Structure formats: C-alpha cells, structure tokens
Amino acid sequence: MRAAHGATMARQAKTILRGGLQLAVMANTLGANPVRDVQPIRLKRRPTGATALSADDLHDLLVRLRADDYCQRNDLVDPITVLIATGLRRSELLALRWTDFDESKQTIAATGNVVRVLPGLLGSRRVPAVDGTTAVISPMHG
C-alpha cells in the first residue's frame, strides 16, 4: 500500500482497518485486533518547508512581478508584495481594513480573516422572505 500510494494513504487505510476490526472484536467475532500489532507507518523523511529566497532572488521576484502584464491587469502586485513583506496568510490579507494599518508605527494588525461559507455549511437554513427574496440564517447569528 505504501509503495503504491504513499505513507499518508497507508496510514489512513490502517486507521480504517483498525476501526473496522475493532468492531469485529467488540462483536466477539475476533479475539483481538490484528492491526494493533502492525508497526507505525512513518514518513521516510521529514517534509521540508519552503526554502527562503535570497535578497537577490527576492529583488528579482519583485521586479518581475511589477513588470508582469497579468499581475498588473488583475491588480495583484500590491497584495503579493504585502504577502511577501508581512507573512500574512491570504485570508488575513483579504480581511485587512484601513483601521488595521498604523502609519505612525508602520504596523499592520491582522485582526480578522476571510472565510468562504458554502451553502449548506454551518447548518444554515434558507428562509423565503415575504417579498420573494431568500435569506440565509446562520445558526451562529440566530
């Protein structure tokens, strides 16, 4: 399993097998769970993080970013530059407000983040309004 699909999928399969066979043990179909004796599945090497850019690479990236027509057209230069300069997450960047920026201290406070809520999540329910529009009521907000 590990050779064909990787360590993560092998661990997931082991977890499913352990759970299923534990049900068999609880139903007295098996005397013991054989998955209990299987060795832990470990990664061959620890995952490596992203490599840091050198000052020259960073400068080159910013120059190419500013010169790129696609980035200019889609207004991506400033957001990407802020991401690089601050280390903010994308959801934090998208939630920034002018009140989060302190010009005198030259700081940005990440006070929120943007979350995409798809229909049906959080137990939301659709309630038809009298005027024919539809309102979505979130259980968190009543």
Report the pLDDT value the prediction gives residue 122, as an integer from 0 to 100.
57
Count the Cβ atoms, other than its own, within 10 Å of residue 133. 7
Report the pLDDT value the prediction gives residue 60, as an integer from 0 to 100.
96
Count the Cβ atoms, other than its own, within 10 Å of residue 96. 20
Please compute the mean of the pLDDT values over residues 103-120 and round it to a whole number. Answer: 82
Angstrom distances, CA of residue 84 to CA of 64, 105, 108, 115, 116: 14, 19, 13, 21, 23
What is the pLDDT confidence band of residue 40, given thresholds at 50, 70 and 90?
confident
Report the pLDDT value the prediction gives residue 124, as an integer from 0 to 100.
53
Report the pLDDT value the prediction gives residue 46, as an integer from 0 to 100.
75
Report the pLDDT value the prediction gives residue 142, as an integer from 0 to 100.
40
pTM to 2 decimal places: 0.51
Helix, strand, coil percent values for the chain (each to nearest 5): 45, 10, 45
Q: How far is CA 140 from the centre of its chain?
A: 22
Report the pLDDT value the prediction gives residue 123, as an integer from 0 to 100.
56
Give the range among 2-16, 86-100, 127-141 with minimum mean pLDDT. 127-141
Please compute the mean of the pLDDT values over residues 102-125 and round it to a whole number. Answer: 77
